[in-house]
Amino acid sequence: MSINSDNPVNMYDPTREYYGHKNDIDEAIQTVLNHGKFINGPQVKELEDKLANYVGTKHCIGVANGTDALQIALMALDVGPGDEVITVAHTWISCAEVITLLGAKPVFVDIEDVTFNMDPVKLEEKINDHTKAILVVNLYGHLANYDAIKQISLNHCIPIIEDAAQSFGAIQRGKRSCSFGNISTTSFFPTKPLGCYGDGGACFTDSDDLGYKIRAIRNHGAVKKFYNEYIGVNSRLDTIQASILLAKFNYFQETLDNRNFTAALYTMNLRELEEAEKISLPTVQEKNYHAWAQYSIILNSKEERDQLNTLLKENGVNTSIFYPKPLHYQKCFEYLGMKDGDLPVTERVCDTVLSVPCYGEFRKEEIEYVCNVIKSYFNN
């Protein structure tokens, strides 16, 4: 295939999905334009009902974006000054940012080197009398070890917030992502497994009390207009975005299956490099169905990762490093006083991880091209 700067292999191309389902998506948007109910229109409630039923929770509450979903979840649990929330440092800043914005302290724990998710053993070591919540991130689309984490949560009576921004559609032991937390959250950012054409997010819960409170907090603390029960925020899911998500949800399983097919082709093509101990490939743990928000390989050193990353880009392959600098190294969290070696697995993964394009419309010949460039690095 012809790959060059004018025709690169992109990390994600939303136009492929759009043109594959253009009529359905255009019709969904036009319906909203016709009725003009752009805020809290009927498509928002329809989407919430469908996603709650899909996940298997009593409540789904649409919000403006995934970051707001996390903040609202913390607010619903009354997290504030003097509290600590345990989370990971190998993730997007939203997780720790919202904790800090509420006056609480993020407490970072290390990750497992196979799933890249929270290490339950390290989690238990960090729990103390100030721990108000455990914020678990399902990184790259693979669910964390919820059997162990939920047992720790129950033992210490500490609620779980499940950050499923990258894992919507994933399954563990028959349960879907967004059903593992006391409150679970997700993002509908365009690159996510179920993505809209702007920002969007949602909170999920089985608790009627928490569901009521989340609905109020997202709308200035009011369930009924002009009657404010809580201090809240303005974070409503846009009706047009909800309509797009409804259209895309009709073929969501096909999207997930295609992502899994893409990942399987990568693994098949790159297995020989793993067997030669040149790279480590992502794995799917037993009784898990992966959403494959990212396909992330691990190199043996930072130098090799950076060299391979440069080579791929020189050959027209856009890649990403999620995440090159862990949160406990970020300037805004210097006040926590953490140092090199505090999170050894996190630090090693951040230095050696590399994500290559992986989405439902990615083509077989593109996968093979990416793999051939990767192989050429080691052959040379």
Q: Could you tell me the residue ranges of all domains in the chain? A: 16-249, 252-379
Provide the 10 A C-beta neighbour count for residue 218: 27
In tens, the pLDDT along 6-61 reads 678 999 999 999 999 999 999 999 999 999 999 999 999 999 999 999 999 999 99
Whole-angstrom distance, CA of residue 366 vs CA of residue 371: 9
CATH class of 16-249: alpha beta
pLDDT confidence of residue 4: 61
Q: Is the pLDDT of residue 261 over 60?
A: yes
> In the structure, what pLDDT confidence band is assigned to residue 210 with cuts at 50, 70 and 90?
very high
Whole-angstrom distance, CA of residue 334 vs CA of residue 346: 17
> In the structure, what pLDDT confidence band is assigned to residue 241 with cuts at 50, 70 and 90?
very high
In tens, the pLDDT along 198-208 reads 999 999 999 99
pLDDT confidence of residue 380: 85
Q: Which residue carries 């919507």 as its tokens?
A: 168
pLDDT confidence of residue 41: 98
Share of the chain above pLDDT 70, in %: 98
The H or E element spanning position 227 is strand 227-228
Which architecture characterizes domain 252-379 according to CATH? Alpha-Beta Complex (3.90)
Whole-angstrom distance, CA of residue 93 vs CA of residue 284: 25
Q: Is the pLDDT of residue 5 over 70?
A: no
Average pLDDT over every residue of 89-108: 98
pLDDT confidence of residue 353: 98
